[in-house]
Structure 1
């Protein structure tokens, strides 16, 4: 039975409404005629509605209202925005979810001069509004399905992404009577997709930035995917790389891999794909400059939940530097091994427990061992020490193994021919990062010749000590002879003079007496010299007095006046005035000055021009010393390193004791004496005396 009612959804923005179509509006009502009684209708006759029909109509209306209420609840419960448009695009219905989302009231959309469609467009994001309007108008004109993603403003002002779809409903003639649309909130999905795209971009950027070459393939014959670093490498090496399209593995093997390595790489990959397990390959590949560099490729399968291989991944690393470093390391190890065998010492290695694990070739030859037989190590090392040293070596080494202290000891080892030789053994522990001993390295150096040489040296030292004592006596004698020679010569000269004065006619007694006094003075001077030289070599204490060094220099110059005049030497003194007094022995200091002046005069014997000048200077040397310099214009010292050695002389009749005695005297006063050749010619001998010298020797 055809229904008397048709439901038209005209709820608008406030809800659904149902419009009843009256019987006068239906073609069925106008054609009903009553036939044979009140309950019989005949077509073409108008019959009154009977009570039964009224009850049926009420029942139908009640069912329709129930269905309408159920439909309204269903539409409001749909988790999407539902809407309806007229054929010209005017909204006629929004479900409650959409009304609540937009925060609109129905009366607001019915204001004069404002279309409902404009109200909706105003809620679209400004960046999407123009496209939304254009797309909707085109669909209204063409009748095409409307589908679009755009941002819609929520009641709180927040824009959220929507996925909207709308389709037209047509009548029997194909005319559009209204549009039904659905608008689904996809904001979380859009953000998730954006986050996914951002993650993919970051992952791709990371893959491209990783300093390795990454590839993937589904099978041996399938195209290969390469990351950007790989592709950049291909473009730099293969001129027509772009023309290859989607390259296969075989093509790339022919283009890139070193010819000798390519077959092995291909076999490894085929075995890998057939067996379904990963592999590691090392090969050489071509660079832009046609050189080859070593690379390592690791291949692993990716499986699905069922364990089936869906894809293969590979990572290629440039290991050329590593390979070269390993080769250099192996070469270095060979060199080191050769060097260890060439070291003129016995090298060995122990475990932390003291077990011998290695000896070098020299030690193996010394002990008569076979390096290949590791079992000999423990056996041989138990029998190689001298019986008198074995127990002590075991105790000391055992203590070092316990404490970790350095091992150092001298002992005797038995050579392969049975001869024991002295060794100097040392060992130090090698520790890990935590300080634990991982092994001991030791060195055993043959010192047998040294031990015997030391024994011979001790014997020679004893002999030398006795010879040194004799030499010391000779040195003392020579020193006395050197220093006493001048006063004795003066005594002889004065004796001859006294004899001449007494032999004169008449005898000149007065002059003879004066000469005799000089003889007495020179004899006493010789005695003082002998006494002080003996005290100097015996390091005995002697009295010192505070003296003016300039006065001592002047006195020495007066004593040497005759010798200076005889040699036609000009003496220039440059004495700093008001120098502080110095504690010294005036006789010994006079000996030093006279000796240095005499040496300077004799050094200028070969000088024939007018530059025969001897300069004597005194000056302060810092705050606590006085320095005296004697500078000549002679030929200088030829062997300056030996001038202070006893008995070394360059003079024809010299004894070689003068400068040695002078240094001894100066050092006994707490000073220092040295010499240096001048820049032009001649030499300078200088010494210092401390201002606060004690009277101790």
Structure 2
């Protein structure tokens, strides 16, 4: 696709065609394209296409046209542009931190057991493990802020494979969605988001008293122009405002750094979607992943 073809396709009556063009421009737009992109954004009504156009505007930067009026500039940048700037900052800062700390943490993990007597079970071991977990969380966060690379996948398989990672959890998983169910996702970003949410659910049911029913139920489907996956656990639910638990650094567990759900949210936002957390009416937590669907025939 060329830039000219992309701009022509932005006028298409077909949502999928406009979305493909907007995604192309989000990766290839230049400074001279900014006014065209803003005009397309004003015409657009579909949220997912608008998000891709906002990303394209961010990439294009300020217009090189000196005649561009001040009124053309955003006085109050759209939320999506703010999110894109946040993702860029996360990628750059996280990359620097990982580069600087990886060798130090690796050396510390090797040296501490030799230098500290009766190392196992000590506070020093706990602190080293916490530092290692923090570094792993920052690596995941950097991955969550990377550019999405879409491909067609079977959502049923993706959900089951994500659960297979947690084989030690035993027979806690239940599945309720159709199979096969073809969707367009970035498999790596999606799995990063889903595994963090599943891990949270497993930890929630693990704290239940002996004899309690421990279930983690995954369901998936399509609502309007959105694909969705829900993860519902039979735990005690969120003690605080569920939405606040999706922010970085938020956790009800003292030994956790609070990166898991925040990383899941960042990964889905990079994939032009989002994550929503609530307490289920039946008890336990419900976390839902939602993103744009551009395949009318998802069940084959």
TM-score scaled by structure 1?
0.23
After TM superposition, the structure 1 = structure 2 runs for residues 199-278 of structure 1, keeping only pairs within 5 Å, are none
Whether the aligned pair in 2 keeps the contact of 1:478 and 1:657 (CA below 8 Å) is no
Work out which of the residue numbers 185, 189, 202 in structure 2 matches 1:588. 189
Q: Which runs of 5 or more structure 2 residues have no equivalent in the other structure?
A: 1-85, 111-134, 296-300
1:638 correspondence with 2:256 = no
Structure whose residues are more often strand by fraction:
1
**Aligned twin of 1:657:** 259
For the structure 1 residues 620 and 644, does the alpha-carbon distance in structure 2 shift closer, same or farther, using more than 3 Å as the test? same
Tell whether the 8 Å contact from 2:268 to 2:274 is kept in structure 1 after alignment.
Answer: yes
Contact kept, 8 Å, 1:479 with 1:657, in 2: the verdict is no
1:600 partnered with 2:208: no
Partners of 1:644 and 1:659 within 8 A in 2: yes
Stretches (4+) displaced over 4 A: 471-475, 477-481
CA contact (8 A) 2:175 2:218 kept: yes
- Matched-pair contact (CA < 8 Å) for 1:674–1:687: yes
Q: What's the counterpart of residue 611 of structure 1?
A: 213
Residue 617 of structure 1 contacts residue 630 of structure 1 at CA under 8 Å; is this kept in 2?
yes
Q: Which has the higher helix share?
A: 2
Question: Over aligned residue pairs, what C-alpha RMSD do you find?
Answer: 3.5
Shift of 1:651: 1.0
Question: How big is the shift at 1:610?
Answer: 3.3
1:511 maps to none
Question: Any idea what the Cα deviations from partners look like across 1:530-584, whole Å, max 9, x if unmatched?
Answer: 4x743644xx53432221111111111111112x12xxx52111122342322x2
Q: 2:206 aligns to what SS in structure 1?
A: coil
Q: Who is 1:546 aligned against?
A: 152
Cα 1:587–1:535 change in 2 (3 A) is: closer
CA contact (8 A) 1:630 1:684 kept: yes
Structure 1 equivalent of residue 94 of structure 2: 476
Alignment of 1:520-559 (within 5 A): 530=139, 533-534=141-142, 536-537=144-145, 540-559=146-165
- Which structure has the bigger radius of gyration? 1
Go from structure 1 to structure 2 and tell me whether the alpha carbon gap of 1:535 and 1:652 turns closer, same or farther (over 3 Å shift).
closer
Higher relative contact order (CA 8 A, sep 6+): 2
Residues 574, 535 of structure 1: CA spacing in aligned structure 2 closer, same or farther, 3 A cutoff? closer
Q: Aligned partners of 1:541 and 1:472: how far apart in 2?
A: 12
Q: 1:480 to 1:662 in 2, by over 3 A?
A: farther
Task: Report the number of matched residues.
Answer: 173
What do the CA deviations read for 1:338-375 (whole angstroms, capped 9, x no partner)?
xxxxxxxxxxxxxxxxxxxxxxxxxxxxxxxxxxxxxx
How far 1:618 sits from its partner (Å)?
Answer: 0.9
Match of 1:572 among 174, 178, 203: 174
Q: Secondary structure at the match of 1:575?
A: coil
Q: Is the 8 A contact 1:636 1:682 kept in 2?
A: yes
> How far did residue 478 of structure 1 move?
11
Match of 1:684 among 265, 273, 286: 286
Deviations along 1:357-394, one digit per CA (max 9) or x if unpaired, are xxxxxxxxxxxxxxxxxxxxxxxxxxxxxxxxxxxxxx
The CA distance in 1 between the partners of 2:239 and 2:96, in whole Å, is 24
Cα pair distance change 1:545/1:480, threshold 3 Å: farther
CA separation in 2, counterparts of 1:633 and 1:474? 38
Change (3 A) 1:592 1:612: same
Contact 2:176 2:220 in 1 (8 A): yes
**Structure 1 pair 533–680 and aligned structure 2 pair: CA distance change class (3 A):** closer
CA contact (8 A) 2:218 2:232 kept: yes
Q: CA 1:600–1:480 in structure 2 vs 1: closer, same or farther (change >3 Å)?
A: farther
Q: Shift in Å at residue 476 of structure 1?
A: 3.0
What is the rounded CA distance, in whole Å, between the counterparts of 1:479 and 1:632 in structure 2? 34
Inter-CA distance 652–576: structure 2 relative to 1 (3 Å threshold) = same
Q: TM-score, with normalisation over the residues of structure 2?
A: 0.50
